[in-house]
Amino acid sequence: MSRHLFGTDGVRGRANSEPMTAEIAMRIGMAAGQVFNRGDHRHRAVVGKDTRLSGYMVEQALTAGFLSAGIDVLLLGPVPTPAVGFLTRSMRADVGVMVSASHNPYEDNGIKLFGPDGFKLSDAVESEIEALVAAPSRIRLAAPKMIGRAKRLDDADGRYIEAVKASVRRRLDLTGLKIVVDCANGAAYKVAPTVLWELGAQVVPFAVAPDGFNINAKCGSTHPELLQEHVVAHNADIGIAFDGDADRVVLVSEKGHLVDGDQLMATIANRWAKDGRLAGGGVVATVMSNLGLERFLDERRLTLVRTQVGDRYVLERMRADGYNLGGEQSGHIIMSDHATTGDGLMAALQALSAMRKSGRPASEAFRAFQPVPQFLKNVRVGDANAALAAASVTRAIAAAEARLGRGGRILVRKSGTEPLIRVMAEGDDSELVRAVVDQIIDAIPQAAA
């Protein structure tokens, strides 16, 4: 069955436009309620959200759908996406939902679903839900006496904070560190500064005043420029930036230099390998991760396993082959010993622990390898599939590959969350890398016109 509603990370779109309308959200709640309403126990869903204005609408619509299907609902309020995965399992819920469009602007929103084990749903289960949403006459509503109840879980933040601190136990003491933390005016605006302060750091928080509109607005992991300025201005030891739902993280060194997910994975993998904690003999990453990471791991007789883009595919490979560390260059870091999905805050703590053990400043501790020149450009299109299939585009890609040769790599793909085509190339010649990307980009608008 072809999927139209669910993308690589749940359902996503512009708020109050299909598919992100209250009606569809309610039908998703009804459909997911039917799929997970199995067994003779009282069924439960947990629903979290980030800080965008439309979260109120989507949260309430989902809740109505679940209640009508006979599912009780625990409302978590604004919490990071990994908190939903954790609390779904901790509260023995049948299903969890995060209302968030991650790093997108406030105009967008999304719905991410988790199973009772706290992991994101498989393609098969999402397809089952999607089929019911498309055919609402097949949805069975609960009898009047079986309609669900809703209540707010007032201590959701505290439960998650304790779980995050438990991931480093008593090994990590941040006393003496000045940390600037950028919470993207998003879901981590309370929990991240609290965790860092409770572990002993001097915390300089910013982008911690969400108003429904300012999530990810010139702040957060996708816009780290202000964080870089703040770290230098405050003479801080390190900066930490999350995205809107805090499942990804990037760091900034004391010199104001950006540390991406590839450098974080390299640093954590190296530390865990030395400590005998790295399972699987390597790391799982995506086709977007830098060739420098692969070379770094290979020098240490560790493996880099690549998957298609999307943290769900990274996690699937980790679970299938016994790896406990994986992630994406964008900062989704998955540590399966501690979390069921990417967790920006837990990843930041593991990175800080590695830095502390190294005894070096951030600018040295997180410079694990010299990145191979890599260049990425996005182009907005109407129909990505048609654009990629156009003869002019396939010819441009073939010509670019011939120019780059065996010393590099080209990746052209459509985004799973936005109407974009992403073009990436890497190789040892930075000018050539940029040239081949531009060569492909120039062909795409003509094909998409």
Q: At a CB cut-off of 8 Å and minimum separation 6, what does 359 contact? A: none
| 10 DSSP assignment | B
Beta bridge partners of 413: 422
Closest CA to 104 of 24, 22, 221, 19: 221
CB 89 within 8 A of CB 116: yes
The residue to which tokens 């399972």 are assigned = 279
Number of H helices, E strands in the chain: 15, 18
Q: At a CB cut-off of 8 Å and minimum separation 6, what does 394 contact? A: none
Considering 102, 221, 289, 336, which one is annotated as catalytic?
Answer: 102
- Note if 102 is an active site residue: yes
Cα radius of gyration (the chain): 22
- Tallying the residues shown for the chain, one arrives at 449
Give the Cα separation of 80 and 87 in Å (integer). Answer: 11
Closest CA to 203 of 192, 213, 187, 212: 192
Burial of 92 by CB count in 10 Å (0-12 exposed, 13-18 middle, 19+ buried)?
exposed
Closest CA to 310 of 350, 274, 345, 342: 342
List the structure tokens of 74.
């625990």
Give the Cα separation of 235 and 176 in Å (integer). Answer: 13
What are 14-23's contacts with CB under 8 Å, separation 24+?
A: 14/107, 14/108, 15/52, 15/53, 15/54, 15/57, 15/58, 15/107, 15/108, 15/109, 16/54, 16/57, 20/54, 20/58, 20/108, 20/109, 20/110, 20/111, 22/57, 22/58, 22/60, 22/61, 23/61
Closest CA to 397 of 439, 347, 349: 439
CA 44 remoteness from chain centre: 25
Give me the active site residues, please: 102
